[in-house]
Amino acid sequence: MGIKTVAWTGRTMRCVDQTKLPERLVYIECRTPAAVWHALRRLAVRGAPAIGIAAAMGVVLGARRSRARSCEGFVKDVRRVARYLGSARPTAVNLFWALRRMVRVVETAATRNVRMLTRALEREAVCMIEEDNAVCRRIGIAGVRLLRVGDSVLTHCNAGGLATAEHGTALAVIFEAHARGKNIHVFVDETRPLLQGARLTAWELMRAGIHATLICDNMAARVMCEGRVDIVITGADRIAANGDTANKIGTYGLACLAAAHRVPFYIAAPLSTVDLQIASGADIPIEQRDPDEVRRIGSRWIAPRNVPVYNPAFDVTPARLIRGIITEEGIVRPPYRRNLATAVGKSTAAQGGCSL
């Protein structure tokens, strides 16, 4: 995409404020863990991989503010900051994966020097950015073979560069196909209620020069019925051990439509998004968002201000509806319980080891 969604400046976390797109490309700088927490909570930073990276940088910012003189006190401060940042969003497992990884740095370090521990945390956060870039490129290469010349892809929400450090997951496959001259067309679900498809995915695809058509969410069945969709590819926020997948609300309905119209449905996600500690999608916590996100668009009210609202941010797609999961270790196919565990075992990044 040519834009660094989340970056470390050496003193601050610099990120795109995604709430301002597509009207303006605005960057914000977070100098405290609280600033990172609020950026995550209000969706200035969103997308599972980007959330994890931002949280890691929030830990670094917290560590730098620690007044602890002993290693033990410093570790307690890091754990406290990690718990605080973990309260920002409950569903995306990359948040907790990144925070556990940062805490493990200080818990297992050979040094007991607070300054050196702080530097180690900073190196780990920067390492996550480099790992994410490499992983997303590999996801694109793994998934591109699913697309033929001239295929039409339907995607939901935003799983592009804005959801990661730079390159994307589901859109990484599309970017790679475009780079290879496959002349791909993309149907972009608007993705109510916050319009991440309309505001973010359409913006990314047009910026990349990829042919894209924006549709309302309730038009997906129509374009499938007309035979205009060859494949559906979406991202993921958490994947259970059995392959059940949580993603932006509306993904489950899209998977059902794809099954009804015999359109292959794929998930593209890094293996760090796989949560082997959760047996099935029934155990994935689903974030409930502010009712006003549904009652209005931007500052304009589109519904009575006191109408009751149900606003889950995510739904869960059963593994039986997923043809395959595109990862940095290739396309994982059923049986997911065995094959996901094997793939995670191969992935250094998923296990949380800095390889730089």
Would you please indicate which residues are annotated as catalytic (active-site) residues?
A: 237
**Which residues are registered as beta bridge partners of 297?**
300
Length of the chain, please? 356
Q: Is the N-terminal amide bond of 90 cis, ω within 30° of 0?
A: no
Q: With contact defined as beta carbons under 8 Å apart, do 163 and 169 qualify?
A: yes
Closest CA to 326 of 245, 250, 258, 252: 245
Residue with tokens 């996600």: 269
Whose structure tokens read 């917290």? 62
Residue 128: strand, helix, or coil: helix
**Residue 29: HSE in the Cβ half-sphere, 13 Å Cα cutoff:** 6
3-state secondary structure of 16: strand
Q: Which amino acid is at 258?
A: A
Contacts for 323 with CB less than 8 Å, ≥ 6 apart: 264, 265, 266, 333
